[in-house]
Amino acid sequence: MQLTAPLDMHLHLRDGDMLQNIAKASAQTFSGAIIMPNLVPPVSTKEEVIAYKERILAAIGDEKFTPYMTLFFKPSYDKAFLESLRDEITAIKLYPAGITTNSEGGVSGFDVEELRPTLEAMSELNIPLCVHGETNGFVMDREAEFVSIYERLANAFPKLKIIMEHITTKESVKALDKHENLYATITIHHLLLTLDDVAGGMLQPHLFCKPIAKRPEDREALLKVALEAHPKVMFGSDSAPHPKHAKENCGCAAGVFTAPIALQLLTELFEKHHALNNIQAFVSGNAQKIYGITPRTKTIILEKKPFTVPAIYNDVVPMYANETIAYSIKDIQHG
């Protein structure tokens, strides 16, 4: 089995020691990734975008990998500022204030007129808007409640590409076909897990993420569009590393670390559902069309050979630590 130019359209690389420790886990097997900007402080100026990209490139060394940079959304951005950044960024990421890790500087309220100057400029410049779509309501309902906000934005800015990030609900899946300018990323962990896996027995802190895994019927809706490689969905891992001590405590940090095993798990899943013919579109082809990007040439050769997931990667515990999965990476070819 081989995958050509796989792309991760939603990736957290963090900064500092964590960046040094985990960046290669993605850079080895992916051709590129959309890099999230929710650092402390968030990436919100041209200088910060360029400097962060340089730190990423330094951390990955000789790996052939393109970091597609994003800017942390602020309603105050004007067209001139965004024009100056057009060659440095691939998208802008909007977070509701305080809803997830390092999102305190995000948007409070979603008044269309307040957001209009930035979103109209983005529409004119063809800069996609990536959104963490959750309200601050009951945790299981937050994403479904946000769908009305997606629809309001889609109607108000019909030329703006809006990416519903890491969707987890059947309501988000339905919205894809209602609005021409709505797209979505889907993670491997939301294709595999429900809330029962996270908290049905003993709490599994390394499976806890935001948005939280949902009900079986939500997972089935995600599986349907992913396995058929619906043209408006693409793979985005939302691989979100935290040090072991930050996950294994009473204030468990939200995030699942899947970067080193994402392609193996996807191949196993698509094979199980007799959908291997569609995996290339899900992990690369759709994203190239949606974002208009041409990734580096890289071919990942996978083989059906059991692989035991390491207990830890540089102080980060991965999903399925110490468990055996069906596929291994056999070779990585460039050029």
Q: Which element (helix H / strand E) includes 298? A: strand 298-303
Q: What are 301's two structure tokens?
A: 């050769």
At 147 the three-state DSSP class reads helix
Q: Which of 170, 168, 167 is nearest to 184 (CA)?
A: 167
Q: What are 71's two structure tokens?
A: 């800017």
* Angle, helix 142-156 to helix 112-125, in steps of 10 degrees: 60
Q: CA end-to-end span of the chain, whole Å?
A: 18
Q: Which of 27, 17, 23, 26 is nearest to 237 (CA)?
A: 26
> What are the DSSP calls for 31-91, one per residue?
SEEEEP---SS---SHHHHHHHHHHHHHHHTT---EEE-EEE--TT--HHHHHHHTTT-SE
Q: Which element (helix H / strand E) includes 113? A: helix 112-125
- In whole angstroms, give the CA distance from residue 42 to residue 180: 30
Q: What are phi and psi of 242, to 5 degrees?
A: -135, 145
Positions marked active-site: 238
